[in-house]
Amino acid sequence: MLGRVNHIAIAVPDLAAATATYRDMLGARVSQAQALPEHGVTVVFVELPNTKVELLEPLGSASPIAAFLEKNPSGGMHHICYEVEDIIAARDRLKAGGARVLGDGNPKTGAHGKPVLFLHPKDFNGTLVELEQV
């Protein structure tokens, strides 16, 4: 069911500073910042040869990233995103196996313009999992 790792997401308290770190200190190619109001975040993607790193900053006080940063003020790994061919089939298979899909269970449009779902971290060894249809 799982494809490749699409990205690893890191929550950051200061997106501009984190972007500069990856761009200037590590020499990485980074995207322009993109606001995603539906998800409550602003994102930047660090482009790597084999995957991406997504830097997340809260967008608004209701952002789930704001709550994460309250517990982890310096930031940290937030989630890992795996690609799937059919997100509805993957969702249905996971739910049948007892996994919890966050939100209303229906895919939302993610940063890449593709359907995404999030899975409860308690069902995946303490890691928030995002699925993205490719």
Instruction: Return phi, psi of residue 2, to 5°.
Output: -75, 140
**83 given a catalytic annotation:** no
* Catalytic annotation, pick one of 54, 57, 83, 130: 130
β-bridge partners, 90: none
The 3-state DSSP class for residue 39 equals coil
Q: How many Å separate Cα 85 from the centre of its chain? A: 18
Determine contact, residues 26/98, Cβ cutoff 8 Å. Answer: no
Distances (CA, A) of 35 to 50, 81, 85, 110, 120: 24, 19, 26, 11, 24
Residues carrying an active site annotation:
130
